[in-house]
Amino acid sequence: MPAAVAGPEIERLIQLLARLPGLGPRSARRAALHLIKKREALMAPLGAALAIAMEKIEVCKTCGNIDTQNPCTVCTDDRRDASIIVAVADVADLWALERAHAVNSRYHVLGGTLSPLDGIGPQDISIDALVSRAHGGEVKEVILALNATVDGQTTAHYITDLLHDAGVKVTRLAHGVPVGGELDYLDEGTLTAAIKQRTLF
Amino acid sequence: MQWADDGIVLGVRRHGEASTIVELMTRGHGRHMGLVRGGSSSRMRPILQPGNTVTATWRARLDEHLGNYTLEGARLRSSLFLGASHAIYGLTHLAALTRLLPERDPHQEIYEILESILERLEDVDQAGPLVVRYELMLLAELGFGLDLSQCAATGATSELVYVSPKSGRAVSRDAGAPWQDKLMRLPAFFMDEELEKPPATDVADGFEITGFFLARHLFEPRGLEVPEARRQFIAAILRAQPSAA
């Protein structure tokens, strides 16, 4: 085992950075060195930002989004259409839809998808809260923006079954050819889904 | 160590940022896991969906190692199941059932039947009987098969209309009449393998029998509950054939 080249504080910083997605031990070492070199310009504000985020970030009690206020910015925005809820598996999916400006509605973050293999059942994700929001009276449509995977669509069907008596329209995202996609390079499953869900032109 | 075989994807687990551990039901090597490097990539994700058939090459230094898979899609059918609730619940349930088989223990007949069921799972009329028969076959494969060849009480081979929950054997109409409220109704399609689309009431009776024995012999001894997907699958197919409800 190579001898440590820095003190325990720096080694600890490198170890923690290496736990971030996309960073291995080598890139963590580079990031740590960069932070140390830019101690005043980067490390101090980063440390302060992390401390504030740690203190203030909360999970929205309405939709499960993360924000520094509760209810979150999305839930308190009056310009959004409150009659539509977009159900997503994760906060990353909410952010992706917001980046695309695809829909001006409220959201519901489930916190995962049903996965028997990983032992994730309906009680482990926020399905009950979504169902009670849909029964609230204000909601007219629930859009199930879940992954086009077996786990994602199992979750979508499960939620659809629970919402059948809620009097709301339940829709899901279309599956098929992505923008810029060339048919020759698409897998058979995507092509089959695209043909099955073809629309009038 | 190296082999190549066909396999049906049963499940996929993320391993690190880019790799996945894939569980296959293979034709000649049973239920077998392996690491797929780059399994989380956009190219591999459509292939690594449960229900797809792949051609797999497995390599490892020693036989007991997890090993690495190199996979190519052979029949990518999982997208067919995404839109139909009975098909997607059925697929989840079939994967959970197949997972009851011991790892790396070849069950070629189970593989062939599973492949054939997946080809027809989309058809809501056929899906119920196919899955019931798969459950019966799995019970038999694991040593808990039902004996439906003759009456447990009289030895008669005709008019077999009940199953005893105690012994798992068939009981004839006459012998079972005094205890009919304690016996389970034996649907005709259990005895007639050619019958592809039995009435919905028979399918429901079939699921009652297999559910009882699956719970008693396979799930409860392992401390497991009968998968929720099974209940949802049965509800979905009975919704489509409301005469049994």
Query: Which B residues, 15 through 34, put their C-beta within 8 Å of a C-beta on chain A?
Result: 17, 23
Q: ipTM of the assembly? A: 0.86
Both tokens of B188, joined, read 């005709």
pLDDT at B245: 45
Query: Which B residues, 179 through 238, put their C-beta within 8 Å of a C-beta on chain A?
Result: 227-229, 232, 235
Q: Do B92 and A154 make contact, defined as CB atoms within 8 angstroms?
A: yes
Which residues in chain B have Cβ-Cβ distances shorter than 8 Å to A189? 46, 49, 52, 76-79
Q: Do A150 and B83 make contact, defined as CB atoms within 8 angstroms?
A: no
Q: Do B88 and A160 make contact, defined as CB atoms within 8 angstroms?
A: no
Query: Which B residues, 84 through 143, put their C-beta within 8 Å of a C-beta on chain A?
Result: 85, 88-89, 91-92, 95-96
CATH of domain B2-76: 2.40.50.140
Q: Do B73 and A187 make contact, defined as CB atoms within 8 angstroms?
A: yes
Q: Where are the domains of chain B?
A: 2-76, 81-148+186-244
Give the model confidence (pLDDT) of B81-126 as tens digits. Answer: 998 999 999 999 999 999 999 999 999 999 999 999 999 999 999 9
Same domain flag for A118 and A168? yes
Please give the Cα distance from A29 to B175 (Å, whole number): 79
Q: Do B51 and A150 make contact, defined as CB atoms within 8 angstroms?
A: yes
Q: Per-residue pLDDT tens, chain A, 201 aa: give them.
A: 566 678 899 999 999 999 999 898 899 999 999 999 999 999 999 999 999 999 999 999 999 999 999 999 999 999 999 999 999 999 999 999 999 998 999 999 999 999 877 888 899 999 999 999 999 889 999 999 999 999 999 999 999 999 999 999 999 999 999 889 899 988 888 898 899 889 898
The 3-state DSSP class for residue A148 equals: coil
Same domain flag for A48 and A75? no
Q: Do B77 and A189 make contact, defined as CB atoms within 8 angstroms?
A: yes
Distance from CA of A124 to the nearest CA of B (A): 14
Same domain flag for A52 and A73? no
Residue A40: give its domain's CATH number: 1.10.8.420
Same domain flag for A118 and A156? yes
Q: Does residue A27 sit within a domain?
A: yes
Q: Do B229 and A150 make contact, defined as CB atoms within 8 angstroms?
A: no
Q: Do B52 and A121 make contact, defined as CB atoms within 8 angstroms?
A: no
Q: Do B76 and A22 make contact, defined as CB atoms within 8 angstroms?
A: no
Same domain flag for A32 and A120? no
Q: Does residue A34 sit within a domain?
A: yes
Distance from CA of A188 to the nearest CA of B (A): 6
Same domain flag for A51 and A70? no
Q: Given its phi and psi angles, is residue A68 left (phi above 0), alpha (psi -120 to 50 degrees) or beta? A: alpha
Same domain flag for A81 and A152? yes
Q: Is the dihedral of CA A74, A75, A76, A82 positive or negative?
A: positive
Q: Does residue A138 sit within a domain?
A: yes
Question: Is the pLDDT reported for residue B44 higher than 80?
Answer: yes
Q: Does residue A192 sit within a domain?
A: no
Asked if residue A160 lies in contact with residue B48, where contact means CB atoms within 8 angstroms, the answer is no
Please give the Cα distance from A155 to A160 (Å, whole number): 9
Same domain flag for A126 and A104? yes
Residue A71: give its domain's CATH number: 3.40.1360.10
Same domain flag for A149 and A80? yes
Same domain flag for A82 and A42? no
Question: In terms of CA atoms, which chain B residue is nearest residue A196?
Answer: B80
Question: Is the pLDDT reported for residue B58 higher than 60?
Answer: yes
Q: Does residue A77 sit within a domain?
A: yes
Please give the Cα distance from A156 to A175 (Å, whole number): 13
Q: Does residue A3 sit within a domain?
A: no
Distance from CA of B11 to the nearest CA of A (A): 7
Residue A197: φ, ψ to 5°: -105, 30
Domain that residue A97 falls in: 66-172
Within 13 Å of residue A173, how many CA atoms lie on the same side as its CB?
Answer: 19
Q: Do A149 and B11 make contact, defined as CB atoms within 8 angstroms?
A: no
Q: Does residue A82 sit within a domain?
A: yes
Q: Do A189 and B17 make contact, defined as CB atoms within 8 angstroms?
A: no
For chain A, what is the domain count? 2
Looking at the complex, does the CB of residue B239 fall below 8 Å from at least one CB of chain A? no
Give the model confidence (pLDDT) of B12-26 as tens digits. Answer: 999 988 999 999 999
**pLDDT tier for residue B242 given thresholds of 50, 70 and 90:** low
Same domain flag for A132 and A151? yes
DSSP of B165-220: TTT-BEEEHHHHGGGTTTSEE--GGGT-TT--S--HHHHHHHHHHHHHHIIIIIIG
Same domain flag for A115 and A150? yes
Q: Which residues of A make CB contacts under 8 Å with B?
A: 21-22, 116-118, 121-122, 148-150, 153-154, 157-158, 160-161, 175, 187-190, 192-193, 196-197
Which residues in chain B have Cβ-Cβ distances shorter than 8 Å to A122? 228
